[in-house]
Structure formats: structure tokens, C-alpha cells
Amino acid sequence: MADRIGKQFTQRQLRVGEMIKQSLSMIFIRNEAKIPNLETNNITVTEVRMSQDLKIAKAYVLPLGGKDSDKTIEKLKEYSFLIRKILSQKIIAKFLPKILFRKDESFEYAEKIENLIKQTNK
């Protein structure tokens, strides 16, 4: 797997990213982050990409069915301090990374490609 610059992710980046992904998923499933007006158990964490210095984690998330994804991302960004605090109790790391929430658009992209392929096969 490579990032935008074309450099490969290190094993350490992948390992830490996967650990944070699993921890975030459990926090959301158990609704441990009490975010007002947001049911976190409907949120899927599809991927977490770590910066090279492991101080920034980009968490790609998607609400169930993709409904109100922009509102969900904004709520997660607003309450990222709370999620980070709960995450600090779950994982042991020298530095707890800052979490940046992003909408996962890979499913929409895959669907678009699939539709294009179907159109060309007609």
C-alpha cells in the first residue's frame, strides 16, 4: 500500500494504524464516546493511515448506509478530543496521535467504476 507521494507505508505505520482502527471501532460499537445526537455504533472505521512520525492518524469512516455522512464527520471532528481521550485509555503508545476524521469515499468510487464498466460492456 502506498500513500499519495508514492512511498510505501512502513510496517510500523501499518501496525499502529491497524491498532488504532480496531480501538476506534470498539469505541464506536460500544458507544463509549458519548457524543450528543450521534449514534456511534452505526459508524464503520474502514481504514486508519498514519503519518511517518506516527503523530497524525487519518481515520476514514462511513456511517451505516452512508446516511448523513457529512454531519457525522463534522460531529466526529468536533468531538475528536473526547474520542482521543477514550482512545488514550485503550492503547499504550509513546505519543497518542491526533485523529483526523475523513469520509471514506472508496465505496462510491468503486460503484462509479463498476457503472462505467457496465456501460462499456453494453
pLDDT per position as a tens digit, 76-122: 999 999 999 999 988 887 788 999 999 988 777 777 788 788 788 76
Q: Which CATH class is domain 11-121?
A: alpha beta
* Model pTM score: 0.79
How far apart, in whole angstroms, are the C-alpha atoms of residue 67 and residue 54?
Answer: 31
Q: Where are the chain's structural domains?
A: 11-121
pLDDT per position as a tens digit, 1-30: 444 555 688 898 999 999 999 999 999 999
Nearest to 87 by CA among 72, 71, 76: 76
pLDDT per position as a tens digit, 46-72: 999 999 999 999 999 988 877 788 888
How far apart, in whole angstroms, are the C-alpha atoms of residue 96 and residue 32?
Answer: 18
